[in-house]
Amino acid sequence: AVRPVLWSAAASIAAVGAGGSLGREGPMLRLGAAVSSWLGQRTGLSSRRLKILLGCGTAAGFAAAYNVPIGGSLFAMEVILGSFALEIFGPIVVASVIATLLARAAESAAPIYPAPGYGLVAPQELLAYLGLGLVGAAAAVTFVLGVRGFARLFRRFAAVPEAARPVLGLVMLAGIGMFVPEVLGNGFSTINGALQERFALQLLAGIAALKLIATALTAGSGCPGGHFTPSLCFGALVGGAYGELVHVAFPAATGSSGAYAAVGMAAVAAGASHAPLSAILILFEFTGNYDLILPLMLASIVSSVIARRLYPFSIYTEPLQRRGVELSWRMEEAALAGLRVDDMARDDPDTLRPEQSLPEVLDRFLAARRQRLFVVDGDRRLLGCVLLHEIKHALRDPARLEAADARGLMVPVPEAVRGADRLHRAAEVFARSDYERLPVLDDEGRYRGVLAKRDLLAVYAQEVLGRPAVLSTFVASDQPGSKGSAVELPPDFALRSVPAPAALGGLTLAEASLPKLLGVRVIEIRRPAPDGWEWIAPDAATVIAPGDELVVLGPARAVASLLEGRLEAGG
């Protein structure tokens, strides 16, 4: 729903405007993603295209907030979608460019944090920036854990209503801001002060510590807003303090603290977000200084790698992990994680009973044409499996053949999956084995059926590669609790529910001649009724009425043409 997001964005704007230590990118990202999601759902986009549109909205919001079209695009792909596929790159770049042009029409196109004159003094100075990457990783993890710690602390204030906690956090922040105003807001003036070397070492370190507390107070109390800008400010202060120390120790071989403040911004942002590419390009666009690109790259990559080892969750994934949400970073994995094994499991008519004799086992293998059959007892408990390869060995021992049965031939099943497991977990099991089918167990450990590798690959082709669906699930109307059966369709065929074209209104199915025109057959009609929908099993004399939904089966191109209201196959 868009309305809760609008309220959240308004609250975020109010919190940032009141001096909360949060970033203005928060409401922009929320609004961009919400509008994109709403548009995608209204236009009936597929789940994959909806995710791409959501990435476009996020990129547009970030790019408009900070005048960083390249950084906004990379942020959406690296942090939000976790993919750099070409089909994603194009739409996101276009959205980011348009948003930046509109933002520049209202504001200046100049870099937000100019840092002219800074560069690499000598090649050996890269060692100092390598050290800054290590310091940035530690600072980034401290930043993430600090926000988490204060969030836990505020949740323990049971006497304070949840709605009042943000107010309490802002009041406490105001107490700090009365003495150190540099910690208030998103830190724009503080960052520029660090870049222009207006703070001494002690002041840089002190403001950095208080900025961390200010951000943790604001975010931990429940105020909505962005975390990227506060991490930049914290990084500028930490980097500036580190630069002061390094320059005092090696004045001839290192630059001034302003250069280290700029690189520190990228290092801490990369470590906190686990998005080094975005941090590098965003800081380059922020400063407009290409001479710092090598230190930026080195410190950001080192910080990101070390921060992941120190703490596996970023500032964006940590709240989700705290709520028990498992986040798949790759879109490919997310597509499979959206389905359960139960959704694709097939009934297995070729199971063996433990007492079946060898001739019966052989007959079952000949009929099933499989390399492995599962042995199940009377309570549907999975006992093991019989391998065709093992039977070949048994044929060499006549004495063993006479007394052989399924129980004597079976071996343990190395791995099984549960019906509640997600498909991406099943894909990992398939990757570790050579089998074409995996046994599926229900919640009580009983044998449910099998998951076929080709079914999983078909889902991958449909959800990830965008190929037409080759699988459909049928559920009998007299079995409402059934999971249904997955049925494989011929290649390039589709089963879809399409609105009846206006040209077919009033015609019988025989008069419509859809099999002759398109090669499409109507297998069911869904008709509006006063109490919902009426399902009709049609015959040649069934009349197509206005408002009908036709469940059709046929070539994918023909079904797509019918969906567009055209009565000729698409080219």
Residue 331 — very low, low, confident or very high, per pLDDT cuts 50/70/90? low
Q: How many CA atoms lie within 13 A of 185 on its CB side?
A: 10
Q: How far is CA 227 from the centre of its chain?
A: 19
Domain boundaries, the chain: 2-106, 123-322, 341-474, 489-563
Q: In this structure, are residues 302 and 133 in contact, taking their beta carbons and an 8 Å threshold?
A: yes
pLDDT of amino acid 315: 84
Statement: residue 340 has pLDDT above 70? yes
List, for residues 149-172, the tens digit of each pLDDT value. Answer: 888 888 777 777 877 888 888 899
Residue 14 — very low, low, confident or very high, per pLDDT cuts 50/70/90? confident
Residue 272 — very low, low, confident or very high, per pLDDT cuts 50/70/90? very high
Distance CA 273, CA 494 (A): 41
Distance CA 563, CA 514 (A): 13
Residue 221 — very low, low, confident or very high, per pLDDT cuts 50/70/90? confident
Statement: residue 392 has pLDDT above 90? no
CATH number assigned to the domain covering 341-474? 3.10.580.10
Maximal CA-CA distance, the chain: 93
Predicted TM-score of the model (pTM): 0.64
CATH number assigned to the domain covering 123-322? 1.10.3080.10
pLDDT of amino acid 108: 76
Statement: residue 335 has pLDDT above 90? no
Mean pLDDT value across residues 279-292: 90
Task: Write out the CATH class of domain 489-563.
Answer: alpha beta
pLDDT of amino acid 330: 56
Mean pLDDT value across residues 209-229: 87
pLDDT of amino acid 570: 55
Contacts of 381 (CB under 8 A, 6+ apart): 445, 446, 447
pLDDT of amino acid 100: 92
Statement: residue 264 has pLDDT above 60? yes
Contacts of 540 (CB under 8 A, 6+ apart): 508, 509, 510
Phi-psi region of 371 (alpha: psi -120 to 50; beta: other; left: phi over 0): alpha
Report the chain's mean pLDDT, rounded to a whole number: 83
pLDDT of amino acid 395: 67
List, for residues 457-496, the tens digit of each pLDDT value. Answer: 777 766 555 554 445 555 555 444 455 555 555 556 777 8
Contacts of 476 (CB under 8 A, 6+ apart): 482
List, for residues 560-570, the tens digit of each pLDDT value. Answer: 888 888 887 55
Statement: residue 235 has pLDDT above 90? yes
Q: In this structure, are residues 451 and 438 in contact, taking their beta carbons and an 8 Å threshold?
A: yes
Least confident piece of the model among 23-32, 94-103, 429-438: 23-32
